[in-house]
Structure 1
Amino acid sequence: MTSHHKTYLKAPSLPAMGLGALWPSAGWQGKLGFPTFSFIWRDYRIGADLLRELQWLAGADDKATTDRLLLLAPHVTGFRLTLAMLMHPDWPLPIWQALQLRNRLIRSGDVRVAYPSDLIAQATAWRVHDKGIELGVHAQLLQGDDCSWESITTFYYRGRFAPPLTHGPLEGAALLSPTIDPALPPVAHWTVDGDRRLRFARLTGDGNPLHLLDAYARRTGFAAASAHPQRIAAQCLGHLTKTSAPRQLDLWLKGPVYYNRAVTLRQTHSPEGEEFALWVDGDERAAMVGRLS
């Protein structure tokens, strides 16, 4: 494995990230695996404007909703640092082969808004399967001397790859998601707003045209452009039954949630926490499943 460490003093540049993604990828080499990357964003801040945007999406700004959104917030603007790593010219596989599967977001202290922080992203573990590779990316938010928040995002690259079969522990959301009964009464029903999609792309750093352009999405086999998962998660968090401030949010991303389509949210309680699932109307399979605990 090769090592690469990079420090940003401001948000990673979207044009620079795009140029890195266009650089020819070296390809997977089993003996090397993924490089040991450690990317640091100095003076990262959760902006008050970000929190207002998430409250607008959630449709609420009460304390219970805001507590939930603060669990999600670093995963919105901080996602840009993870993308900068996966789009780096030395990364062996192209970003367009990476599919985001699961998220585990953990809050271990007070997540402060507008506070100068350090955000660190590292590729920590992977598994080579018969038909692809699962990769875990660990992000940590350091506010002062405390790690107040962390996440593990699981990506999947389809294809056949040479071993090694395993590297490091793949800690994150469980492989299998909770099962939510589609016959449960809905807790909310709404139409996914297609406005401000470019604004959300700038927040996350994810400018994939599948999230922006309906015509492009249709040409690639999708029904329309689909919302960023963080955007849909914020809407779900705003509609769930109010509970005490959660310390962990697990998300399983099952399929696209198209703009201007009606969706239905269902929720149930289990010993593990509050579990929920979102269906695009007309689909039998849930597009997103989550658990607050």
Structure 2
Amino acid sequence: MHRIATAPRAVNTPMPLQFDLDTRPAILPLYFRALTARKPGRLPPGQERVLASVLLGNQAVDPVHLQIYRDVCGFGPGQHLPATYPFVLAMPLQLKLLVSEAFPFPVLGVVHVRNSITQYRPLLEREHLDIRCDLAAAVAVKRGYEFELLTSVRVNGELVWECVSTLLSRTPHGEAKVSRPSSGKKAWVAPVDEGCASAVNWQVPADIGRRYARVSGDRNPIHLSASTAKIFGFPRAIAHGMWTKARCLAALEEGAYAGTLPDRFTLGVDFIKPIFLPAEVLFQSAQSATGTGFSLSSGGRRVNLTGALVHC
């Protein structure tokens, strides 16, 4: 069940939507709507900063689901949630916002270009989480429109985790002047081209897209098989961006931080090029006084991802 509320608005200003959920929404109906919903493909006049919000309270962590996530992404055992795990819990909420009438663009073809997660303290497996997702207004950029999904997690009113996902809709706007969101600059640059402290090759199996889809609920056809990816113009299936981010975090936890990540940090990445499955990728990292930069590359010098874990 869910309740829809509307915030007060000025005359001729679109009314923000708010969904208050009792349970996580089912994924398959949302994907069906993503495939069939008719979207105007243009920005409405007089947008609010936040177009829509969804709230889901008192969510317990399923230990079986968490263990499957750990296995798929390469995390070892522990009492704390991996910092990327709340993103999986919030994914159905984000999809609900994207298929709502507040989002004006077709969902298929939207590209995840940047992601930043801030952990204010470690989350315990036994804690109950209050999750909120906000859909921010789109901004015209050179390649189309960028918009942000803002996700926060609170425990007993305490803000413990935040995430900013920047997505791109390659919808033509025909505007001479474009801008970029203030948080949209490429800040996550890994200084690992020379003299890197660590470099290791990973084998990424052909089925990792299907395995991550089962645990995350993200069953976008471009990740599932070569045949379904080809429908959307890809020669082979591609790895989920958030799987690659989680896999990098697991590698940092195991390597550079020797099993002990700082309690407070921001983990940001730029998704640059897709990883075609199966693949051999090179993970490089280099530490500094303020954090660790890292990158993933494949096929020689094809950079797939750059990122940084910054101590708070």
| Equivalence map 1:38-117=2 (5 Å) | 38-61=53-76, 70-117=82-129
2:29 is matched with which residue: 8, 16, 34? 16
CA-based RMSD of the aligned residues comes to: 2.7
Q: Residues 109 and 147 of structure 1 are in contact (CA less than 8 Å); yes or no, is this contact kept in structure 2?
A: no
Q: Residues 295 and 303 of structure 2 are in contact (CA less than 8 Å); yes or no, is this contact kept in structure 1?
A: yes
Unmatched runs of 5 consecutive residues or more in structure 2: 1-13
- Relative to structure 1, the CA distance from residue 204 to residue 216 in structure 2 (aligned partners, 3 Å threshold; closer, same or farther) is same
CA distance in 2, matches of 1:157, 1:229: 16
Q: TM-score, normalised by structure 1?
A: 0.86
**What is the DSSP-based 3-state SS (H/G/I as helix, E as strand, rest coil) of the residue aligned with 1:249?**
strand
1:273 is matched with which residue: 273, 283, 291? 291
Per the alignment, residue 143 of structure 2 pairs with 131
Per the alignment, residue 10 of structure 2 pairs with none
Q: Residues 72 and 211 of structure 2 are in contact (CA less than 8 Å); yes or no, is this contact kept in structure 1?
A: no
Per the alignment, residue 120 of structure 1 pairs with 132
**What is the DSSP-based 3-state SS (H/G/I as helix, E as strand, rest coil) of the residue aligned with 1:11?**
coil
How far 1:72 moved relative to its partner? 0.9
CA distance in 1, matches of 2:98, 2:105: 8
Q: Residues 90 and 133 of structure 2 are in contact (CA less than 8 Å); yes or no, is this contact kept in structure 1?
A: no
How far 1:114 moved relative to its partner? 4.1
Q: Between the two structures, name the one with larger relative contact order (CA 8 Å, sep ≥ 6).
A: 1
- What is the aligned residue count? 287
CA distance in 1, matches of 2:62, 2:217: 15
* Residues 125-134 or 221-230, more deviating: 125-134
Per the alignment, residue 39 of structure 2 pairs with 25
Q: Residues 47 and 114 of structure 1 are in contact (CA less than 8 Å); yes or no, is this contact kept in structure 2?
A: no
Q: TM-score, normalised by structure 2?
A: 0.81
- Relative to structure 1, the CA distance from residue 267 to residue 127 in structure 2 (aligned partners, 3 Å threshold; closer, same or farther) is same
1:289 is matched with which residue: 303, 306, 312? 306
How far 1:271 moved relative to its partner? 4.7
- Identity fraction in percent: 21
How far 1:165 moved relative to its partner? 6.3
- Relative to structure 1, the CA distance from residue 207 to residue 262 in structure 2 (aligned partners, 3 Å threshold; closer, same or farther) is same
CA distance in 2, matches of 1:100, 1:85: 15
Q: Residues 215 and 224 of structure 1 are in contact (CA less than 8 Å); yes or no, is this contact kept in structure 2?
A: yes
Q: Residues 136 and 170 of structure 1 are in contact (CA less than 8 Å); yes or no, is this contact kept in structure 2?
A: no
How far 1:15 moved relative to its partner? 2.4
Per the alignment, residue 228 of structure 2 pairs with 216
CA distance in 2, matches of 1:123, 1:217: 27
CA distance in 2, matches of 1:196, 1:114: 28
Per the alignment, residue 189 of structure 2 pairs with 178
**What is the DSSP-based 3-state SS (H/G/I as helix, E as strand, rest coil) of the residue aligned with 1:160?**
coil
Q: Deviations over 1:81-108 (max 9, x none)?
A: 1122112244211111321111110111
* Residues 145-154 or 20-29, more deviating: 20-29
Q: Residues 98 and 157 of structure 1 are in contact (CA less than 8 Å); yes or no, is this contact kept in structure 2?
A: yes
